[in-house]
Structure 1
């Protein structure tokens, strides 16, 4: 940090630094998400690590504001097949969420989604369905039942039941996804 001659300059400099760090968090997080969506989890991990590093620096190690960085890292690791590392990131995120009684459903649904995807990747389909059911419930609480966030939970759960060849449940869940899509098209 540069030398400031007055308290006002020091305060302004500290605010500017904090704003730059928050910008880096947003940029690194969105870059990691972009790489995940493009199917490039190996490139998402370094961006996610930057988001985590700066989130911890700005918010502290046990702040719920650090959870999104852990979740994006877990997603990238799941997609890259690094399930042990994904487990570590999700455990840390879960611990923070459990220690934050007023944690929003918007954060919790994403944690359960990633836990569901992790258990699916590990082949534990029963635990996967459990977490995806929590994902759907929490997404509905946070965003409403006919939203893209909720539909994502239905979609992932349908894929789990598809692996179990339970086609009646699969068709029902995919119908929920289609109904949400139709609802979104109707609104716009």
Structure 2
């Protein structure tokens, strides 16, 4: 059974998540969080070692929310498919959902979190737990599709799970350039990769 988070701690995290929607982690001050949440400084430092730990917790929360959305979309799709045509249609929808331009901000948030974790063992451990949860869910979904006779068995499921995430997050390299690619051309390329590599 999951451990229930203390309401004060939860409020501090959700307040910080809201602030991270419009600000970078380094732009957020303790007093700003306290004012927005109505929580005292003493309570904040009772639940968190320092501001850095609170910012890490909020970034993990954002990362976890993306994991939840991604897994939910894929689980729902795999549960319904019965034929190759079904899974082709479902995967096209998932590709367009996860890689839409409107999620550019989310990709930047994820990239910032990953970069910040590189030299921070505490943050790296927590972020890795969420990352592993997503990778494991994708491995399970690949195996489920294989059990339904829809996915090829000539590639490693773990490698396949990482590849899917690599091209999803990889969209970020086009998010900030002036001469951006045609999204439909990108979707078409991914559809071809899925068809030739993943499907039978």
TM-score normalised by the chain length of structure 1: 0.31
| Structure with more relative contact order (C-alpha pairs < 8 Å, separation 6 or more) | 2
* Structure (1 or 2) with the greater helix fraction: 1
